[in-house]
Amino acid sequence: MTGPTLHIHGTIISTYSRIVQTVAEEAGISWTITATPAGSPENRQRHPFRKVPTVTIDGLNLYESVAICQYIDNAHNDGALQPDDPATRAEMDRWVSVANNYLFPVAEHGLLMPRLAHRVLKTPLRSDVIEAALPQIAEHLGIVCQRVEESPYFAGSEFSLADIFVYCILRPVQMTSEGDNLIGQLLPLRHWLNKVGKRPSLVATRWESENEL
Ligand SMILES: N[C@@H](CCC(=O)N[C@@H](CS)C(=O)NCC(=O)O)C(=O)O
């Protein structure tokens, strides 16, 4: 890889760190990641809303994944992950927003965090929280599945930032038994996840736990 290096600060196993890493891979930019918990004093300096990741690139300190991804793609990838046509761009923006505002919060708080807390912190599994979230997660997956039935990628015929956001959010869902069961009933979505997951940028950013599956 040539050009600048992207320095990422964030949790190592993190959906949004992976999104940023994937865009860097697509752009042919090398990246490093420094483990930085969201609530740490250092992160408070880097991100006033205490989220991860934050990055440094080209002498810029950036936070918020959409801004980071668009910067990398615009500055170092000729905007190849963002359609030029305004209507197609709006379609991409719509799905990035859907991923960030609806898919991620429900999956994160209703399924992934309860499973992670149980596995890592050994706290009792909050099955009640998971059970309560599953109908909405199922509804979200159904909507997303409709889109991949009508179009090869979220913005249309070409792979874009929207596919990276949706894939990196849905892949951890698929790695849970509940999510795998739901996605198993939605074959077009399962095929889309298989297809997109083979892309070199997404293979390069797989979590270790995924490689072990
Ligand atoms: N809007 C933020 C969301 C980032 C986000 O939610 N990151 C998660 C980790 S994947 C996080 O910081 N979680 C810690 C917390 O919410 O306290 C972005 O796009 O970068």
Q: What is the CATH number of the domain that holds 21?
A: 3.40.30.10
Q: How confident is the model at residue 117 (pLDDT cuts 50, 70, 90)?
A: confident
Q: How confident is the model at residue 213 (pLDDT cuts 50, 70, 90)?
A: low
Q: Are residues 120 and 157 in the same domain?
A: yes
Neighbours of 176 (CB within 10 A): 19
Considering the chain, what is the average pLDDT of its residues? Answer: 96
Closest ligand 1 atom number to CA of residue 108:
10
Q: Are residues 133 and 194 in the same domain?
A: yes
User: Which residue range forms the structural domain that includes residue 40?
Assistant: 5-76
Q: What is the DSSP letter of 31?
A: E
Give the SS3 label for residue 60.
Answer: strand
pLDDT, residue 212, reads 57
Q: How confident is the model at residue 198 (pLDDT cuts 50, 70, 90)?
A: very high
Q: How far is the CA of 150 from the centre of ligand 1 (A)?
A: 30
Q: Are residues 56 and 92 in the same domain?
A: no
Query: Which among 181, 178, 157, 183 is positioned nearest to 167, based on CA atoms?
Result: 183
Q: How far is the CA of 51 from the centre of ligand 1 (A)?
A: 4
Task: Return the minimum-mean-pLDDT range out of 130-134, 190-194, 209-213.
Answer: 209-213
Q: Are residues 93 and 166 in the same domain?
A: yes
Q: How far is the CA of 118 from the centre of ligand 1 (A)?
A: 20
Q: How far is the CA of 15 from the centre of ligand 1 (A)?
A: 8
The contacts of residue 3 (CB under 8 Å, 6+ apart) are: 28, 29, 76
The pLDDT of 30-39, averaged and rounded, is 97
The yes-or-no verdict on residue 103 having pLDDT over 70 is yes
Q: Please report, in angstroms and rounded to a whole number, the separation of the first and last CA atoms in the chain.
A: 29
Phi, psi (degrees; rounded to nearest 5) at 81: -95, 10
Give the SS3 label for residue 9.
Answer: strand
Residue 64 lies in a domain: yes
Ligand 1 site, CB within 6 A: 14-16, 38, 51-52, 64-65
